């Protein structure tokens, strides 16, 4: 259906020398594939990953428009070589040898839609892409961005189980944008430098399933319960705020690319053996009764090294945790059912 095409940026002799010197040095070679690379998130994410010195090979896959994105990004004089792949026939090449696969493929929301309204289209896209991942790069870490994340991650897990290669340590739902938003909004209200702020966000990635733990925010500020409630609500509705502001032209792309690049960088650092890399992510989990849950996760050479427990919650957060469980449970079950039908 789509014209298949492969574009490789001029991998010059200089780049080859660069690669050799890196491989003999302390920074290992790492191939990162982005599926959906020509989209609203995919393009700025490709740019940010091209700027990441931990990446030696950047593989850009989409069903359309990847040659242009790859040619453009490929001219940037940073470490990685860049290859663009378009169409199903080239998916295998895009994935082979990947250490990390980032998936922002799929349709975004329009005003009035929930993330779950994207399920019908995106579930099928994720299913197909994960079937190919199982075949061509079964050992890669997966960063799932495509919505609804609460369901697409369980879909990926089921597809990998069917293929007999599921490793729960390697599958991540990207919830970093919730953390990025919580930090930004909190810094504004607490009047502290945003660069110093840390806020864990737990649960899932849709509406009330997004639960920021401002009681654990650092630096601590003495905010009223009204302000904390408003901050929680704004974090939960952050995606909708952008969808409405874009008025039909899609959802968060630039802040998501930033968040996606941040999380991918953390995964690469973990793979490379950097100690104490901790980020929030939606992963297979036993810290609540739900089989998938977002919380702080320690990243290591095999992906998830440790799912950290939730720590002390305020009464307001305890209520939020109980309130989010039914929706998250049903989104997980919907994904599992879809993958097995």
Ligand X SMILES: NC(=O)C1=CN([C@@H]2O[C@H](COP(=O)(O)OP(=O)(O)OC[C@H]3O[C@@H](n4cnc5c(N)ncnc54)[C@H](O)[C@@H]3O)[C@@H](O)[C@H]2O)C=CC1
Instruction: Kindly list the residues in this chain that would bind ligand X in the complex (CB under 6 A).
Output: 35-36, 38-42, 61-64, 104-109, 118, 122, 125, 128-129, 145-147, 149, 174, 177, 205, 250-253, 256
| Two structure tokens written together for 96 | 């082979």
Q: Report how far apart, in Å, the C-alpha atoms of 82 and of each of 49, 55, 78, 235 are.
A: 10, 10, 10, 35
**Interaction partner, residue 35 (ligand X, ligand OAA, none; CB < 5-8 Å by kind):** ligand X
Told to check if 183 binds ligand OAA by CB under 6 A, we report: no
Told to check if 251 binds ligand OAA by CB under 6 A, we report: yes
Q: Quick one: 52 exposed, middle or buried, by C-beta within 10 A (0-12, 13-18, 19+)?
A: middle
Q: Please name every residue paired with 112 in a beta bridge, in sequence order, or none if there are none.
A: none
**Interaction partner, residue 243 (ligand X, ligand OAA, none; CB < 5-8 Å by kind):** ligand OAA
Q: Which residues contact 1 (CB under 8 A, 6 or more apart)?
A: 87
Which helix (H) or strand (E) segment holds residue 242: the answer is helix 238-246
75 noted as active-site residue: no
Q: Which of 69, 105, 182, 242 binds ligand OAA (CB under 6 A)?
A: 242
Which helix (H) or strand (E) segment holds residue 269: the answer is helix 254-271
Site string for ligand OAA, 104-123 (x = CB under 6 A): ----xx-----x--------
Site string for ligand OAA, 116-155 (x = CB under 6 A): -------------------------------x--------
- Cα angle 160, 36, 263; round to 5: 70
Q: Which of 200, 239, 270, 335 binds ligand OAA (CB under 6 A)?
A: 239
d(CA 110, CA 115): 10
The window from 86-94, 233-241, 306-314, 330-338 that contacts ligand OAA (CB under 6 A) reads 233-241
Hey, which bits of 124-241 come out as E strands?
A: 141-144, 171-173, 201-203, 210-212
The window from 5-13, 225-233, 240-248, 309-317 that contacts ligand OAA (CB under 6 A) reads 240-248
Write out the catalytic residue numbers.
205
């Amino acid at each position: 259906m789509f014209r298949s095409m492969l574009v490789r940026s001029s991998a010059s002799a200089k780049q080859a020398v660069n690669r050799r010197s890196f491989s003999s040095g302390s920074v290992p070679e790492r191939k990162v594939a982005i599926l959906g690379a020509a989209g609203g998130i995919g393009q700025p994410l490709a740019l940010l990953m091209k700027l990441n010195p931990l990446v030696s090979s950047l593989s850009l896959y989409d069903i359309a428009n990847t040659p242009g994105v790859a040619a453009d990004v490929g001219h940037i004089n940073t470490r990685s070589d860049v290859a663009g792949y378009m169409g199903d026939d080239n998916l295998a090449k895009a994935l082979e040898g990947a250490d990390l696969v980032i998936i922002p493929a799929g349709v975004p929301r329009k005003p009035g839609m929930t993330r779950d309204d994207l399920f019908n289209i995106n579930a099928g896209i994720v299913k197909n892409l994960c079937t190919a991942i199982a075949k061509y790069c079964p050992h890669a870490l997966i960063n799932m961005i495509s919505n609804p994340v609460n369901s697409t991650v369980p879909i990926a897990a089921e597809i990998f189980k069917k293929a007999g290669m599921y490793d729960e340590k390697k599958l991540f739902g990207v919830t970093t944008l919730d953390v990025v938003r919580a930090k930004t909004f909190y810094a504004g209200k607490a009047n502290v430098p945003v660069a110093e702020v840390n806020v864990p966000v737990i649960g899932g990635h849709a509406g009330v399933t997004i639960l920021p733990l401002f009681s654990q925010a650092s630096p601590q500020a003495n905010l009223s319960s009204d302000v904390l409630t408003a901050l929680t609500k704004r974090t939960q509705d952050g995606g909708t705020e952008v969808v409405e502001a874009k008025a039909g032209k899609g959802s968060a792309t630039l802040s998501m690319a930033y968040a996606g690049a941040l999380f991918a960088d953390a995964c690469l650092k973990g793979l490379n053996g950097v100690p104490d890399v901790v980020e929030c992510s939606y992963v297979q989990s036993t810290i609540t009764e739900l089989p998938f849950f977002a919380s702080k996760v320690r990243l290591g050479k095999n992906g998830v090294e440790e799912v950290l427990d939730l720590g002390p919650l305020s009464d307001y957060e305890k209520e939020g945790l109980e309130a989010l469980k039914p929706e998250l449970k049903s989104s997980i079950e919907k994904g599992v059912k879809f993958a097995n039908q």
